[in-house]
Chain A
Amino acid sequence: GNSVTQMEGPVTLSEEAFLTINCTYTATGYPSLFWYVQYPGEGLQLLLKATKADDKGSNKGFEATYRKETTSFHLEKGSVQVSDSAVYFCALSPANTGNQFYFGTGTSLTVIP
């Protein structure tokens, strides 16, 4: 079946620290992979995505690389800011289904000044 496993939170970092949130997946074929971010009291917003192996998605200083060999899509940022405090969701959309999405449980990040 299809599933996403992401690291448990919460994660607390100091401003300018390096961030890694691990995400691994199980899927048949070649799914598309996504990171969504949810700020307090808001809906989920697309942060970045990758649609094929070795693609790197990037946005707002965040990056994630689609690793087929390790079935992973880890989110990284070199220097976090207080404004990055949010919940981050890893998700996959299986190949040829168009829109079926499977989400991880979310990782809460708090960045302290």
Chain B
Amino acid sequence: NAGVTQTPKFQVLKTGQSMTLQCAQDMNHEYMSWYRQDPGMGLRLIHYSVGAGITDQGEVPNGYNVSRSTTEDFPLRLLSAAPSQTSVYFCASSYWGGAGNTIYFGEGSWLTVV
């Protein structure tokens, strides 16, 4: 019953520090993505991947890196944290292709940059 698992759930960083948010899914989904959620702005896509070895930028990619070495894992790296990156981050996955695919979300990672 694991689904999409994200760690850590809470993190406080100092400006300029780097860190990695981990994401793993056990549903053999080709597609994985990272969103950030900010008040009044809904969810915005940061990066996504349609399969191992393939990544692409979403709406707000600056300051973040991703890689997809396996189908299961899709870590998000903050290179040099800034207060503007204080947000809630969600990893998501789904099957690729077709219509009406449900996207499954992790429980979120609350990040504060001070």
Q: Are A43 and B90 in contact (CB under 8 A)?
A: yes
Contacts of A105 in B (CB 8 A): 40-42
Q: In the bound complex, do residue A46 and residue B99 qualify as a contact, i.e. CB atoms below 8 Å apart?
A: no
Q: How far is the CB of A46 from chain B (nearest CB, A)?
A: 5
Identify which of residues 14-42 in chain A touch chain B, using a CB-to-CB cut-off of 8 Å.
Answer: 32, 34, 36, 41-42
In this assembly, does A45 line the interface, its C-beta being within 8 Å of a C-beta of chain B? Answer: yes
A103-B42, A104-B42 known; A51-B100 Cβ under 8 A: yes
Interface size on A, residues (CB 8 A): 23
Nearest chain A residue, comparing its CB with the CB of B103? A101
Which residues of chain B come closer than 8 Å to A43, judged between CB atoms?
4, 90, 105-108
Kindly state the separation between the CA atoms of A43 and B43 in the bound complex, as whole angstroms.
11
Chain A residues lying within 8 Å of B42, measured Cβ to Cβ, are 89, 103-106
Count chain B CB atoms within 10 A of each CB in A43, A44, A49 and give the residue with the most: A43
Contact B105 A93 (CB under 8 A): no
Q: How far is the CA of A49 from the CA of B99 in the complex (A)?
A: 11
Of the candidates A44, A93, A96, A105, the one having the most CB atoms from chain B within 10 angstroms of its own CB is A44
Chain B residues with CB below 8 A from A104, complex form: 42
Asked if A99 is at the interface (CB within 8 A of a chain B CB), the reply is yes
How many A-B pairs have beta carbons closer than 8 Å: the answer is 65
Distance in Å: Cβ of A44 to nearest Cβ of chain B = 5
Tell me which residues across on chain B come within 8 A of A51, comparing CB atoms.
99-100
B100 touches which of A45, A89, A93 (Cβ 8 Å): A93
Q: How far is the CA of A96 from the CA of B97 in the complex (A)?
A: 7
- CB-based contact A99/B105 at 8 Å: no
Residues of B within 8 A of A41 (CB): 107-108
Output the least CB separation between A67 and chain B (Å).
Answer: 17
**In the complex, residue of chain B having the shortest beta-carbon distance to the beta carbon of A50:** B100
Q: Which residues on the B side are within 8 Å of A113 (C-beta)?
A: none
B1 within 8 A of A: no
Which residues of B sit under 8 angstroms from A82, Cβ to Cβ?
none
Q: Which residues of chain B have a CB within 8 Å of any CB of chain A?
A: 4, 31, 33, 35, 40-43, 45, 48, 50, 90, 94-108
